[in-house]
Structure 1
Amino acid sequence: MTRRVLSGAALAAGLLVSPSALGAEPVRLAVISESASNWPLYVAQAKGFFDKEGVTVQVTLTRSSAKQLEALDKGDFDIGHQAADHIIRAVEKGSELFVVMALNRPAFSIVAAPGIGAFEDLRGKALAVDGAATGYALLLKKILARHGLREGDYTLKEVGGTNERYEAVRTRIAAAGLISPPFDLKLFADGFKSLGNTSDYFPHYQGSVAATRRSWASANRETLIRYIRGYVTASDWLFEPRNRAEAIEILLGRVTMDRAQAGATYESALAKALIPKAAVSVDGLRQVIEVLGETGQLRPPLPAPEKYLDPTYYTKAREGR
């Protein structure tokens, strides 16, 4: 597997190409950043599960969910790992994107700078988010509201994905932010404080999903099915306890952290974040729709989750295992 940096005004990105044989079907995959949320992807690449399915997966790091969504929608990528709410909003604006597979539930630590001991201490402070209207920012707003903080009591600072939010909090550009493992563990080791976890408030909310365009899926049906099958195989492997040590080595090869942090990340990710078998929760997707309705981004009557989901590709991939 090789890595190179792509140039271009639209995206600053890294390309990861699997070493499968010539003739394999290419899949241009977009992810936002390197983090434990991509663990099954890392496993699929390291263990050759995509290669065995006859697909070559080229992964571009977009560093921004908004840039990724725009590029995915116009065909620069074939599949995007993206927050479910982004796909829903895109569809409502006329996009042909749809959800094919689930990836993660939101299990972000709410990490605050030293000296901040309660939500009230965030009043008047800047909080790091990917984008002010993203699904995870909406969850943060709802959590803050439960603790008496309304919009206007704080400022949302748009900085980008997990890595960028980590840096913003670490350097005190922001007083707090939603940070995923292992970056939250690094901050805790440096004296930063935890104000809780999004999973405490939204345990079934559908977070990240794999999405693609209906036209691409129709024209590349078998490729999409094979991609899903390779990813689900990796997910099954990752959730097998006997593979824990090797899984940690794979993560350490992709995300900078120490071994103790990797071990803690494994326990947290499997218990709270990663979704077994990458199966979409219709109820979890419905919660996303309800949150968008509550914030005025969807109007009643609220659409059914099936408007944004086509499970046939996933079902076919599972039948072939």
Structure 2
Amino acid sequence: MMQKSLANPSAAQGGGLAPGAAAQSGQQAVLRVNVFNTSSNLPLLAAIANGYFAQRNLKIEIQNTPNSDEQRAGLAAGKFEIAHAAVDNAVAMVEAAKQDVVIVSGGDAGMNELMVRAEIHSMADLRGKLLAVDAPNTAYALAAKKILKLNGLLENRDYGVRLAGGTGPRSAAMVSDPELAAGMINPPFSFSIREKGLKSLGSQFSLLGPYQATGAFVMRQWSQANADVLTRYLAAYIEGQRHVMNPAHRGAMIELLTRRFKLAPEVAEGTYQALVTPGSGLAPDARFSRDGFEAVLAIRAEMEGMWGGTPPAPDQYLDLSHYERAIKTARPL
């Protein structure tokens, strides 16, 4: 069967497939999906492994990003069609880079924990220390800064910030560099670095409450030109999320985590449990959390001083119409 990649409209001038052609012709569509290499992608991996994308005539090419700056730049440049990451990155693309990006689904609440080195026993012990972050002004860095502010600590006055990459590199940096005292880390790395002596001061969910973390976002023009393909993609992704969260598949999902991330059995077990924990883990059906997203915007408004300190209405960043069509066709699993 012929395969054609759906080019991003901003990058389609070089002779690629006209946007939407694969959807209209019924040919197989190839989608490049850019992600951080963490367990949040288990629904994507499960959907690939169980043929949910293939059943919708979609071929998925996964790209791993080292950090959010590269992911945001890559999406804008048309290097891939779909990004999965903390949706605050989509807000940053709209507000800072003036890119017309829309969030098209939810995913999870992040499963983050504020991990610290062994000598840190309380928030107060972080005074004079360094916080390891991916990018200083998006997503989990802002969440960490908010947590520290709630505990009387302010950036530059009480602690510093150092760039350390995405979750995997950031975890490794915290283990190897004694100057990096704290960082927001999610599974499986939040479990594996415990074996290296690091510990948790609490989960983001317990310290901050609801938060819309990982979701899918795309360029608005691409979504409009490839609506059918995006709907098929989201339907398969929803099925992957349902597959992962079905207790009947627990053993197989732990095995997939073990194999994909080369985890010890106990780390894979803990990671899976974190993924299916209500509230802080995967969202049923990959639904978008409006309450969680309002928290994202409120944190950005407060910590970055944007919008005069008053968060805007969420709708300008969203287009959930593709999701609503997709969930009507997604099968129970």
Using the size of structure 1 for normalisation, the TM-score is 0.89
Where does 1:83-102 land on structure 2 (aligned, <5 Å)? 83-93=86-96, 94-102=98-106
> Distance between the aligned counterparts of 1:299 and 1:69, measured in 2?
24
Amino acid at match of 1:96: D
| In structure 1, distance between residues paired with 2:86 and 2:105 | 12
Q: Secondary structure of 1:186's partner?
A: helix
Question: Is 1:80 aligned to 2:83, yes or no?
Answer: yes
Q: CA deviation at 1:300?
A: 5.9
**Equivalent of residue 119 in structure 1, options 108, 117, 123:** 123
Q: Per-residue deviation at 1:196?
A: 0.9
Matched, 1:141 2:145: yes
> Cα distance, 1:306 vs. partner?
0.9
Same amino acid, percent of matched pairs: 33
Aligned to 1:19: none
Contact 1:105 1:203 in 2 (8 A): no
- The offset of 1:250, in angstroms, is 1.2
Deviates more, 1:60-69 or 1:105-114: 105-114
Q: Specify which of 319, 325, 328 is matched with residue 319 of structure 1.
A: 328
Q: Alignment partner for residue 191 of structure 1, among 169, 187, 197?
A: 197
Contact 1:105 1:206 in 2 (8 A): yes
Q: Deviations over 1:150-201 (max 9, x none)?
A: 1121111111111011101111251221111221222222332221111112
1:10 paired residue number: none
1:305 to 308, 314, 325: 314
Deviation at 1:139, TM superposition (A): 0.8
> Contact 2:301/2:310 (CA < 8 Å) preserved in 1?
no
Note the C-alpha offset of 1:202: 2.7
Q: Secondary structure at the match of 1:280?
A: coil
Point out where structure 2 has 5 or more consecutive residues left out of the alignment: 1-25
Structure 2 residue aligned with 1:66:
69
Whole-angstrom distance in 1 between the partners of 2:309 and 2:64: 36
**Deviation, structure 1 residue 23:** 4.2
Is 1:156 the counterpart of 2:164? The answer is no
Partner of 2:234: 228
Aligned residue number for residue 47 of structure 2: 44
Distance across 2 between alignment mates of 1:62 and 1:72: 11
Q: Counterpart of 1:287?
A: 295
- RMSD (CA atoms): 1.6
**Partner of residue 5, structure 1:** none
User: Given that residues 46 and 250 in structure 1 are in contact (C-alpha distance below 8 angstroms), is that contact kept between their aligned partners in structure 2?
Assistant: no
Query: CA, structure 1 residues 301+179, in 2 after alignment: closer, same or farther (shift >3 Å)?
Result: closer
Q: Secondary structure, in 3 states, of the residue corresponding to 2:261?
A: coil
| SS of corresponding position for 1:299 | helix
Q: In the alignment, which residue of structure 2 is the partner of 1:166? A: 171
Match of 1:241 among 241, 244, 247: 247
* Counterpart pick for 1:24 among 15, 23, 28: 28
Q: Is 1:54 paired with 2:57?
A: yes
Aligned counterparts of 2:56 and 2:208: Cα–Cα separation in 1? 35
In structure 2, relative to structure 1, the CA distance for the partners of 1:77 and 1:299 (3 Å cut) is farther
Note the C-alpha offset of 1:92. 2.5
* 2:159 alignment partner AA: Y
Distance in 2 of aligned mates of 1:73 and 1:154: 33
Which residue does the alignment assign to 1:107? Answer: 111
1:181 aligns with 2:190: no
Query: Is contact 2:94-2:100 (8 Å) kept?
Result: yes
Determine the C-alpha separation between the residues in 2 that align with 1:196 and 1:222. Answer: 42
Preserved CA contact (<8 Å) 1:113 1:172: no
State the match for 1:17 in structure 2. Answer: none
Distance in 1, matches of 2:64 and 2:113, equals: 22
TM-score between the two structures when normalised by the length of structure 2: 0.86
Q: Judging changes above 3 Å, is the alpha-carbon distance between structure 1 residues 303 and 148 closer, same or farther for their aligned structure 2 residues?
A: closer
Aligned residues: 299
CA contact under 8 A between 2:116 and 2:201: conserved in structure 1? yes
How many Å apart are 1:106 and its aligned residue? 2.5
Quote the residue 1:11 is aligned against.
none
4+ residue runs of structure 1 moved beyond 3 angstroms? 299-302
Deviation of 1:247 after TM superposition, in Å, equals 0.7
